[in-house]
Amino acid sequence: MSSQKPQKPATKTVTAGRKASLTGPVVNVPVWRASTHLYENVAELEAGKGRNEDGRFFYGRRGSPTQWSLADALTEMEPGAHGTMLYPSGVAAIACALLSVLKAGDVLLMTDNVYDPSRSLADGFLKRFGVETRYFDPRTTDYDALFCDRTRAILLESPGSLTFEMQDIPAICAAAKKRNVVTLLDNTWATSYFHTALDKGIDMAILSCTKYIVGHSDVMMGSVTTHDKLWTKLRHTAQQLGQTVSPDDAYLASRGLRTLSVRMKAHETSAFHIANGCRRRPMSRPFTIPLCSIAPDTTFGNATLPVHRDCFHSSTPATRLPQRPSSTRCNCSALAIAGADLKALPCPCSPRNTGQSWHGISPAH
């Protein structure tokens, strides 16, 4: 038989990244700890400089089989991907992805429910280097109105951080491609297990692997996966900024990936159990639960995330929760963050949103 059935996501989490050229005769790639890589002669050393790709030994910053295996696995999880770069944190991944496509004078569009460090990066570092950031309502459907002649990139999150609004990713990508605008998605909440991004039109899929990929609250890591058109820019930017991850951390992330399917299903079950329990309590306010029938984002969610339901947001005031009295302007997000003993996270929504007023709060509540 020359052809095989496509692997399901759960199977990919177990088999991806296990090339025989990397594993040798064992199941998992061992930990290769090395800074200096040796060559038989000077000619091989010189030849190595011209082969800037995973699988080619050169120097510790470019990785070893331990890092290459993890990068391969994350690439295999994204249909249509050319490669994956690894970073020491999710924030580093976001920053390097943006820096690979932006320059002074460009406009960056950023969804208003973006991860707070992404906002800090845009309002601080990128602004100092001449990049203007414009925020937009994550639930807008007037996509054409977002862009201007200087727009070069758009950073999306779906679900968005802590408030979990969904976006119509394929429609936004279609509008962006008409204008040659690079689309980046922070896909941390869904991962490529629940939401493959590149086949929906996204150019760069970003993960904070710290959360679900690692899954045990003991490693910081980020990744960016992209297609061949942007691969060289992404790789060179990461290398020029000295981005690398340790082989020990890469090994732990690979081990976490193997149980991703089991953990995500457990998160989904737990999140729905908690959400349904909260809905029956008189103190509860409106919820945002991706893909749940009571959420306003269900249509977008069903179009892009087949089963992702592992987090939700309630506009229940934090003053009705047992916590410090000073947190009077917060609402509550219940997060199924992998490996973390975190049941609920109070989050101040009003100061976060500059492009729109948060939909879950109004005087009527």
Q: Clarify whether 5 is annotated catalytic.
A: no
Catalytic site residue from 51, 61, 178, 320:
61
Q: How far apart are CA 82 and CA 75, in angstroms?
A: 7
User: Is the CB of residue 342 less than 8 Å from the CB of residue 354?
Assistant: no
Q: Clarify whether 212 is annotated catalytic.
A: no
Residue position matching structure tokens 């070893």: 64
Tokens found for residue 363: 């005087």
The answer for residues whose C-beta is within 8 angstroms of residue 163's C-beta and 6 or more apart is 113, 288, 313, 333, 347, 349, 358, 360
User: Is the CB of residue 2 less than 8 Å from the CB of residue 249?
Assistant: no
Catalytic site residue from 106, 186, 249, 310:
186
Q: Clarify whether 61 is annotated catalytic.
A: yes
Q: Clarify whether 211 is annotated catalytic.
A: yes
C-alpha closest to that of 110 among 219, 121, 308:
121
- In terms of Cβ atoms closer than 10 Å to its own Cβ (0-12, 13-18, 19+), residue 350 is exposed
Q: How far apart are CA 355 and CA 243, in angstroms?
A: 32
User: Is the CB of residue 163 less than 8 Å from the CB of residue 113?
Assistant: yes
Catalytic site residue from 12, 119, 211, 309:
211
Catalytic site residue from 115, 143, 193, 251:
115
Q: Which residues are catalytic?
A: 61, 115, 186, 211
